[in-house]
Structure 1
């Protein structure tokens, strides 16, 4: 049985009736926010497990039972089941951190499979006993500290620092850009995470080595995320300004059960001790070996914590909204990308412009300011912008400046990739994208955007794999990269999967998303549904239709890809004048 991603689950096994009652409770909760398909997914895997058929819970059977796929379904080419399972895991985690925080029965979908696990939460008395330090721990304390609330927390943090400081002294304080002649960003300009040594729950040398290794690997994976700082010890002067103290503590534990590595992780806001994120990770060490399994788990944890648009950015946006410091301007960019309105775009751009003037040595703010100008090209019909050559020149200049300040900043390289892409320099765009991905492959925004550029350049296999990875890691604003998966399926001729992915995307995020769906519907011969999309475009985004040709040609590099897309639009009833040849 596995941990439920919240503290306090014991080894008790609930009855089938208790599990079904808990399922009803989850599905009826307003905090369980997934659509009907995901609900059927959860009901199906629970019914099969309770019926003694958990060994049949494979992607193929779920695709047929829940998604209505036929016998030709290929899980390698169409990861819809894996993506939906990931969404389901995250939503169950959200439920147990909100409405289900006091529920007795815990239901999870362990990573690495689709069979659910069921547990009974430990009672409050048992949890209190488990949190009490051992007699040896009490006797080893300074007398004045015995019985002090929170002592055990700081003892763990202190020992983590002692273990890690010799190997990672360079990480004691946040990284800053390598600008030689400009002031660099200071520790107060972005949040800092204190990475505590993961606890070894299982006795023995192997578990201890893995806990130390996962901790070190997490630090290594977190450092390339330039929007955050990473430390391994609390600054010695606890009386200094709060801005110099780490904002968050990343804590966790490791347990070995046979060949299974089970790790829990949680992100704690140090100001008030609130757990703002928690999850568990299961892995079979026989599949990849100990070291690769350890690295894989560390990557998952680091990505979940630090990815753009993730939990930390959402939390910080709520707590420092309206502030005028540099990090608030960084948050304003991610907030605008979620909101996607002209007003939010203009506010983020203005804030970042002031931040660049205030902190000319900060690579991140220069990169994000560049992206706000590039978004006038990417999302022109949503933001009602009219990008010009001067806009592109400004964007590219900022991107090049950001890369000069920090050549390893993945966000700066991402901005340079997009500036080159919209400047019609595909080779340079792909070079910058490859460098961005190499700098931080765990940055889901970089992986997704680079994957899209590769795909649109004609490298659909490699590009779609990266987009799929980004989607599986919950990249970007909700529903953003799913349209990339729709294009991937469409270009390989799987129009049924393409429609599914397109409808999973956020169609209101960008009118171009509806154009993708329209081409797919045309290829499927769904005339009535296609007319609904044409009517929407004419009503809500009338500027799209007369500009379809150049907009598609600007994005899809190959003539055969353009021809397939235009053929779908024509079949949908939308006449398009282009230079692309008609597809046979």
Structure 2
């Protein structure tokens, strides 16, 4: 049986690559090269400056791999003729011939045979072992085919793992212990709603073969006095022990407030750490990995999507689209990548501004298909559902889109990225009051994370008739390369009587987005659901000096 290709081999992709590497190196006669440093660089994508004393990844993964092999040989691999083990204290595999169980046959007279010891060693030792090694080599070769062929690689890449430790009870009382335990469980619950991270509790870490060591640790403490409580929480990067984020929370010692405090603190922690543009995202976005393994490369594709969103540059979009397409081919069950790919296809539809509406229909079809694939893989993946909502909206299935949006916000009300986008869809569909309230709430809970909050709030103020406030919000937005930003600015300035600013926006649009100017009525119509809102906005653009066909 080929171990790495076996579905019964309970190991992660990283552990399978580990096994394949050390087997191939040994078979090639390079066993002396198998060291922690070489494995870290060639298998795990660490840099040449890797230090095994400060980064225990190889030692930890070796422990996981040993357990995985033991489990395999105790179950479906119990009849394999060759045992592969990795003795503790090193990483060079050892191949052992395991004789088959003898089959009982009728007894026959024994015929004495005299075979020199050397012949025994020659026949039973190297010959059998070489045959076994050849089988192992075929297994390794097959694994390369499996890992290199997209349609054969089920699963998803490894995403950030966060170990949530028990909060320290600084007071030492049972009441404090109960509060600390309840808070920890609430934090785990809220963090787990974010599907782009994996939350781990100490009880299930240990040396389990199927769980990779977490890169982040969330720790905290609880201190209760007679009148008040204080909670301290911090996120630690295990690689170097650095504190990436820390916060303190205080409150009164009243039963109702304590219960509410657990929910509020957990919500704040989850939003700060796990959401798009949160602490974990920023940490990984700033992390450079030389020669990254496939799973890290696929994961960083999702990070590159969010970097692309600010400038909305067509060339960057093309690169990110290609990267995500490769990721879903490599990891066909990666729901987040499918969702982000759908969003890219939707951007192809709404930002290319073709004169012929049929020319962009294919992009919208691809967006719908990719979004539905994401939701099929993981029905509660927020990015997949976000993509489905947007694709449905631009496909003029407004009610279906808003229904998906409401359900998704209920799944994870702490995802302020989605809260703002759902609020935007509600607003432009005509429900300006509720939609703009959600956008304002998202902005308040996560200020500065997205320049689109300010542009959306400017649009809200515009449709609310407060053009001065609309101008204030649009000046705060940094989405200067997004053409829709300039449409909003032109309309708001024109209605507010700011002729110089309105003319500047008109000139920018004519120079940088001539296709948008030519098709401006259609572009406004596919974004605003109500005909009344379309005419109002188009009228303001005319005041700004844009020529809009009736």
The TM-score range, normalised by the shorter chain, is: 0.5 to 0.7
What TM-score results when the alignment is normalised by the length of structure 2? 0.66
TM-superposition CA deviations, 1:187-225 (whole Å, max 9, x none):
x62110001122233454443332222211111011121
Structure 1: gaps (5+ residues): 1-148, 150-180, 579-584
2:489 pairs with one of 508, 514, 517: 517
Show the counterpart of 2:515.
Answer: 543
Equivalent pair of 1:448/1:475 in contact (CA under 8 Å): no
Give the length in aligned residue pairs. Answer: 394
Task: Give the corresponding residue for 1:27.
Answer: none
Residue 197 of structure 1: which of 166, 169, 176 is its match? 166
Alignment of 1:291-310 (within 5 A): 291-310=259-278
Please say which structure displays the higher CA radius of gyration: 2
Which residue of the partner structure matches residue 125 of structure 2? none
Contact 2:336/2:383 (CA < 8 Å) preserved in 1? yes
Aligned mates of 2:428, 2:253 — CA distance in 1 = 37
Matched, 1:237 2:207: yes
Which residue in 1 is equivalent to 2:43? none
Question: Deviation digits for residues 492-512 of structure 1, max 9, x if unmatched?
Answer: 222222111111112414111
Secondary structure at the counterpart of residue 225 of structure 1 = coil
* Cα offset, 1:541, TM superposition: 2.4
Inter-partner Cα distance in structure 2 for 1:287 and 1:377: 52
Measured after TM superposition, the shift of residue 261 of structure 1 is 4.4
Distance 2:227 2:432 in 1: 37
**2:224 is the counterpart of 1:224:** no
Q: What is the TM-score normalised by the length of structure 1?
A: 0.63
2:306 paired residue among 325, 331, 334: 334
Match 1:459 to one of 431, 438, 443: 431
Query: Does the 8 Å CA contact 1:285/1:293 hold for their aligned counterparts?
Result: no
- In structure 1, what is the Cα distance between the partners aligned to 2:175 and 2:359? 58
Aligned counterparts, 1:47-446, within 5 A = 185=155, 189-233=158-202, 235-237=205-207, 244-256=212-224, 260-283=228-251, 289-320=257-288, 323=292, 324-325=294-295, 326-338=298-310, 340-380=312-352, 388-446=360-418
CA displacement 1:306-363 (0-9 Å, x = unmatched) = 0012221122122245734221222222232245333332222112111111221222
Where does structure 2 lack aligned partners over 5 or more consecutive residues?
Answer: 1-53, 55-150
Measured against aligned partners, the alpha-carbon deviations of 1:247-293 in whole angstroms (never above 9, x if no partner) come to 10012223446665433322111111111222333456769632122
Deviations 1:136-185 (A, max 9, x none): xxxxxxxxxxxxx9xxxxxxxxxxxxxxxxxxxxxxxxxxxxxxx99653
Contact kept? 1:284, 1:293, Cα under 8 Å: no
1-structure distance, mates of 2:359, 2:447: 26
For 1:201 and 1:550, locate their aligned partners in 2 and report how far apart those are by CA, in whole Å: 62
CA–CA separation in structure 2 for the residues paired with 1:284 and 1:548: 55
Match of 2:536 among 558, 564, 571: 564
3-state DSSP of counterpart to 2:286:
helix
Q: CA deviation at 1:367?
A: 1.2
Question: Do 1:221 and 1:299's aligned partners in 2 also have CA atoms closer than 8 Å?
Answer: yes
Contact 2:162-2:217 within 8 A present in 1 as well: yes
Do 2:348 and 2:360's aligned partners in 1 also have CA atoms closer than 8 Å? no
1:552 matched to 2:520: no
Change (3 A) 1:284 1:573: farther
Report the secondary structure of 1:197's partner residue. coil
Q: Helix, strand or coil for the counterpart of 1:555?
A: coil
* Distance in 2 between residues matched to 1:450 and 1:521, nearest whole Å: 26
Secondary structure of 2:281's match?
A: helix
Tell me if the contact between 2:506 and 2:546 (Cα under 8 Å) persists in the aligned partners: yes
Name the stretch that deviates more: 522-531 or 314-323: 314-323
Q: Which of these residues, 469, 472, 477, is aligned with residue 441 of structure 2? A: 469
**Which 10-residue stretch deviates more, 541-550 or 474-483?**
474-483
Q: Secondary structure at the match of 1:424?
A: coil
- 1:486: which partner in 2? 458
Task: From the superposition, tell whether residues 210 and 500 of structure 1 become closer, same or farther in structure 2 (CA, over 3 Å).
Answer: farther
- The Cα of 1:527 is off from its aligned counterpart by 0.9
Q: Call closer, same or farther: CA 1:328–1:287 in 2, change over 3 Å.
A: same
Structure 1's 398 and 530: CA in aligned 2 closer, same or farther, altered over 3 A? Answer: same
Q: Secondary structure at the match of 1:407?
A: coil
Distance 1:200 1:399, change over 3 A: same
- Cα shift readout 1:548-573 (whole Å, capped 9, x = no counterpart): 21111111111222233223223323
2: CA distance, partners of 1:366 / 1:503: 34
Q: 1:548 to 1:491 in 2, by over 3 A?
A: same
Give yes or no for contact 2:335–2:377 (8 Å, CA) kept in 1: yes
3-state SS of paired residue (1:246): coil
Asked whether the 8 Å contact 1:253–1:265 carries over to 2, the reply is yes
How large is the RMSD of aligned CA atoms in angstroms?
2.9
CA separation of 1:353 and 1:468: change in aligned 2, threshold 3 A: same
Equivalent residue of 2:515, what SS?
A: coil
SS at match of 2:287: helix
Superimposed CA distance per residue, residues 68-119 of structure 1 (whole angstroms, 9 cap, x where no aligned partner): xxxxxxxxxxxxxxxxxxxxxxxxxxxxxxxxxxxxxxxxxxxxxxxxxxxx
Return the alpha-carbon distance in structure 2 between the equivalents of residues 379 and 210 of structure 1: 50
